Chain A
Amino acid sequence: MSSGVELASAAVLLLLVVLAVMARTAPAGVTVYAWAALPQAAVAAALAASGGGALLWVDAALILAVKGLWVPSLLRRSLPVPDRHGYGLAASMSPPMLLGGAVVAALLGLRLGVLLGPAAGEALGLGLAAILLGFGIPAVRSELWAQTVGILLGEAALVLTALVLAGDLGPTAEILSFAEVILLAVVLGAVVRAVRDVHGVADVRRLGRLRG
């Protein structure tokens, strides 16, 4: 049962990340992020149900509470709603190109997943594709809220992939990753607000005075 749930969850998460690439408003992006807690919790619950240990049930509940409720509420408070809807493209890559890249990544991930172990191969591959797509959002979307959602969705995909691979991350890694995602959301929100305060708009197209 566990491997079927893992595969379905990874597929749902990948779909949610695709939706986030296309999201036009900050509230929509945050809602997609909140829904992404479900597939992560499903994987943890499926692993717990198939003999993975009681702590995985706690993990599933915490994922729902922290990533489904708490972090989205933090983001809703901190991310600015832009005065117009639509896409802001950050770089030379466009969302269709990123989605095409995700398809290639998924195929590569599937191949890699099969090489790493047939039991979790496909789910692992889809998880890796979701990570690449999530972390790719800052390369295509210029609005800082979209980039924030992309980074956090990449983290969600990463946790799902790690769970699929290892079965159980152990209490230390779990607790620290929860702390990380909360703090990351807080700091991302704070910097987005600071950028908006300085430039009037939280968009990377208004940044560019520093040359790296």
Chain B
Amino acid sequence: MNILFIHEAFPAQFGRIGLALAERHGWNCRFLVRNVSSCPTPSARMLERLELRRIPLPDNFGAEPTPWPLIYGDYLTLCEAVAEAIKIDPGPKPDLIVAHGGRGAPTIFLRDHIDCPIAVYCEYYFAQARRDISYRIDLPPAEPAQFFPRTINAPTLMSLVGADSGYSATEWQKASFPDRFHSKIEVHFDGIDTELYRPGPAPRQVLGKSLPAGTKVVTFVSRGLESIRGFDIFLEVAARISRERSDVLFVIAGQDRAFYGWDTLHTGQASFKDWGITQLGSRFDPSRFVFLGHVEPEVLADLLRITDLHFYLTVPFVLSWSFLSAMACGAVVLASDVGPVREVIDSGIHGLLEPLFDVDRLTETALAVLADPAQFAPLGKAAQVRVAEKYSLEVAIPALKDYYERAASF
């Protein structure tokens, strides 16, 4: 098989799959990407084995945040750049194009230049209320919140109606799409690298400093420290935990940046992290918190191996890889009781779920885990098995290979 993967970032969802298909099955996997990502970063093997081409976009494209009425225009610019890249250098004719559609797969002009089936990665369909960027109505209102959700799906819809098939990572993500598209979308998770994310010994240190004996590590990981992942709620819970226990260190990985929603407008501050800390006032003890910023996958894996409790306080939205990576490492996860998380965790079996906004219960549950780790250790083991059996790369690759082969004949 000859596959052309199109994604704004590399390796993102496709890099590891492409490498596995190339190495195990001899497929020719080429990539048309906008940039090489830092979340996660590509392995040396990926860069060596896979053919990467850049989407020719102006240097300043996307340098500034795009006002919401203009996002479709940006999408079309991206679509045109992808089409031009293929027009100029079509390369060997692919059997299948697989394009990521986080904000719409940039595929709508491709049929003018290439004749092959197109499959889109249907990451998510935004809701007008009660999910994703519209969920945090507890925060001060942001003006675009009424309007943007009614327009944000334009690229997604355009790419989906033009595609031959699509797939989502989870049932919940598929269900976010209008019913009319369900017959067109399969569910295939893209796979957690359980060679990297697995239980095992790891240095008990943070930022190169060894942890004092007896220190409990509580972790929070998110690409951005933002409201959609409940960072402010985590801070509130952490403050309460630290009041009850003096032996806990809160280690936070993620950039001081909001990738989704309107945290700047909600808070009037550039940094949601700073705003969240400000909300705690004197209850915030900086000596109890370590902010790592963005971390490399190997560092993250070590952190998740030593954590005593991992928080995942997302709103109903696309699942974070870090959540499944923590489970894969055998961490005890305390997560928000929302649809996408429930699809992965049966509360009390693979982890613990509590209502997102109930900081009392979150705190009580966290304290219970920290007080008696042995009692909750089976949850971590079950989580690890769950990921291995259902969400690991080893499980994902055969299923995706089968799907791609079928999609190439649609």
- Report whether chain A binds chain B: no
A residues adjacent to B (C-beta < 8 A): none
